[in-house]
Amino acid sequence: MRFGIRTLDEAQLAGKTVLCRVDINQPVDRASGTLKSINRIQACVPTLRELSDKGAKVVVLAHQGSDIEYKNFYTTRPHAQVLSQLLERPVQWIDDVCGPAAREKIAALKDGEILLLDNVRFVAEEQTLFEMKLRLTHEQQAKTLLVEKLAPLADLYVCDAFAAAHRDQPSLCGFEQVLPSYMGRLFEKEFCTVSQVMESPDRPCVFVLGGAKISDAFLMMQTVLERGVADQILTGGLVANIFLAALGKSIGQGSVDFIMKSNYGEYIGKAAALYDQFGGKITLPEDLAWVCGGERQEASLEQIPGDIAAVDIGSRTVETYRQAILNAKTVFVNGPMGVFEQSPSEYGTQAVWQALADTQGFTVLGGGDSITATEKYGLTEQMGYICTGGGALIRFLSGEELPVVKALRHGAAIG
């Protein structure tokens, strides 16, 4: 047991049918039917290999969104092929989730065999719960079709989907009500790593927060500042622009328009309040960059032209941030410093990411775009820990008990 959840060390697996929920939701190229990235598939391989090696009949449940999350589902068929290559053993797949065909295939599994079911979000209950805010309790989730049809075929449930741990859905929270439940190796590793950052980080503990998911960023900042987890927050991206606007600094009309257009106007007031309370710990850019005629331009805050849109932090800010990161013992990172997808506005992100790679401190990084930037600059091996979860990680750091953690604690008492 760790954190009130059973680990695989305690599981009797030989000959048992295991339902294993993973998060292998990856960007998909719909035209060619291929996956643009496989990092999450790689991350759950150790758990699946262990289950199979120990003689379990492994039934893998997963979801796959698409370019527009929750509007556009895609089959898990390509994932089976990638999994099979990574595991160096066959991975069966079926175009069914919990119907008779899937159940027949599950019942026919032999020890050590692995079957990936199709996208669990093809079952309406799985996504309408979230989308329509039906808000079924965990007991009610245990009565959904998915759980009622699959649980009787299984001996135990393993959740390795830390990246989806903030989702309150039957495939994630329903099985724990009726089956003995365990966390997989990836879940265990991610949960322990982020718990350590939250509970007793080596200090100084510096947060690097950029990007564009403003509501998440503000929720997390509030918590880590109130609890004294963060000694310093280095801001970039849209997060920084909102603070600067809140302090009445000129960031260019283009930046202000972007904030308003994104419906983040209310955060200007929130930023002002947060800065009033914790200003000493929140570091804002000294200079910003924008793009003019395809060229990068920079100026200190006092000299920003009135009409520009700031799309990156400036090079003086980069230097300040670099020193803070090099001096830190723990660095938590979420969100790029600028629009790193385009070359005139990628300098801030690239240089700060290089500092993350260079520091002796332990770096924990999460978020889809933050991971993309890490891969783009070839720094994956030099980060301390790359968390597969974005939303889950942020909600965890916001102090919430994640629904899946709650369910797994419940499931630890069964069987």
Sites of contact with ligand ADP (CB under 6 A)? 210-213, 237-238, 241, 258, 310-311, 334-336, 338-339, 341, 367-370, 390
Helix, strand, coil % in the chain, rounded to nearest 5 = 45, 15, 35
The option from ligand ADP, Mg ion, none interacting with 338 (CB < 5 to 8 A, set by class) reads ligand ADP
Told to check if 369 binds Mg ion by CB under 5 A, we report yes
Q: Which residue is nearest to Mg ion (CB)?
A: 369
Token pair of 55 as six digits:
């003689």
Token pair for 352: 């700060």
Tokens linked to 365: 């990084």
Q: Name which of ligand ADP, Mg ion, none residue 139 binds, using a CB cut-off of 5 to 8 Å depending on partner kind.
A: none
3-class secondary structure, 235: strand
Cβ closest to ligand ADP, residue 69 vs residue 358: 69
Is residue 377 helix, strand or coil? coil
Instruction: Examine residue 335 and tell whether it contacts Mg ion (CB under 5 A).
Output: no
Q: Judge if the upstream peptide bond of residue 170 is cis by omega within 30 degrees of 0.
A: no
205: left (phi over 0), alpha (psi -120 to 50) or beta: beta
- Residue with smaller CB distance to ligand ADP, 285 or 411: 285
Assign 279 to helix, strand or coil: helix
Length of the chain: 415
- Residue 270 contact among ligand ADP, Mg ion, none, beta carbon within 5 to 8 Å by kind: none
339 binds, among Mg ion, ligand ADP, none (CB under 5 to 8 A by kind): ligand ADP
CA dist 163 and 2 (Å) reads 18
The residue among 314 and 367 lying less far from ligand ADP, judged by its C-beta, is 367
CA pair distance 210, 240, nearest whole angstrom: 7
Report what 348 binds from ligand ADP, Mg ion, none; CB cut-off 5-8 Å by kind.
Answer: none
| CB proximity list for 225: less than 8 A, separation 6 or greater | 233, 274, 277, 278, 281, 282
Distance CA 73, CA 11 (A): 33
Q: Considering only 172-180, 250-258, 293-301, 369-377, which stretch makes contact with Mg ion by CB under 5 A?
A: 369-377
Minimum Å gap between C-beta 207 and ligand ADP is 13
> Which of ligand ADP, Mg ion, none has residue 335 at its interface (CB below 5 to 8 Å by kind)?
ligand ADP
Residue 59 or 311: which CB sits closer to ligand ADP?
311
Q: Give the nearer residue to ligand ADP in terms of CB position, either 174 or 210.
A: 210
Please say which residue, 181 or 370, places its beta carbon nearer to ligand ADP. Answer: 370
In the complex, least distance from residue 214 CB atom to ligand ADP, rounded to whole angstroms: 8
**DSSP 3-state assignment of 157?**
strand
The alpha carbon dihedral of 362, 24, 163, 107 has a sign of negative
Binding region for Mg ion (CB under 5 A) out of 133-141, 286-294, 346-354, 365-373? 365-373
In whole angstroms, give the CA distance from residue 361 to residue 208: 13
Smallest distance, Å, CB 290 to ligand ADP? 9
Of the listed pieces 64-72, 169-177, 228-236, 360-368, which binds Mg ion according to CB under 5 A? 360-368
Q: Give me the DSSP letters along 259-279.
A: HHHTT-HHHHHHHHHHHHHHG
Closer by beta carbon to ligand ADP, 65 or else 338: 338
Cβ closest to ligand ADP, residue 212 vs residue 247: 212
Virtual torsion, Cα 202, 208, 214, 217, nearest 10 deg: 0
Determine the residue type at 84.
Answer: S
- The residue range among 48-56, 72-80, 362-370, 372-380 that interacts with Mg ion, by the rule CB under 5 A, is 362-370
Q: Please, what is the minimum distance in Å from the beta carbon of residue 374 to Mg ion?
A: 13
CB of 105 to ligand ADP, least distance (A): 36
- Assess 368 for contact with Mg ion (CB under 5 A): yes
Residue closer to ligand ADP (CB basis): 52 or 345: 345
Widest pairwise Cα distance in the chain: 71
Q: How many residues bind Mg ion, per CB under 5 A?
A: 2
Q: Which of 236, 206, 209 has its CA nearest to residue 220?
A: 209
Q: Applying CB under 5 A, which residues contact Mg ion?
A: 368-369
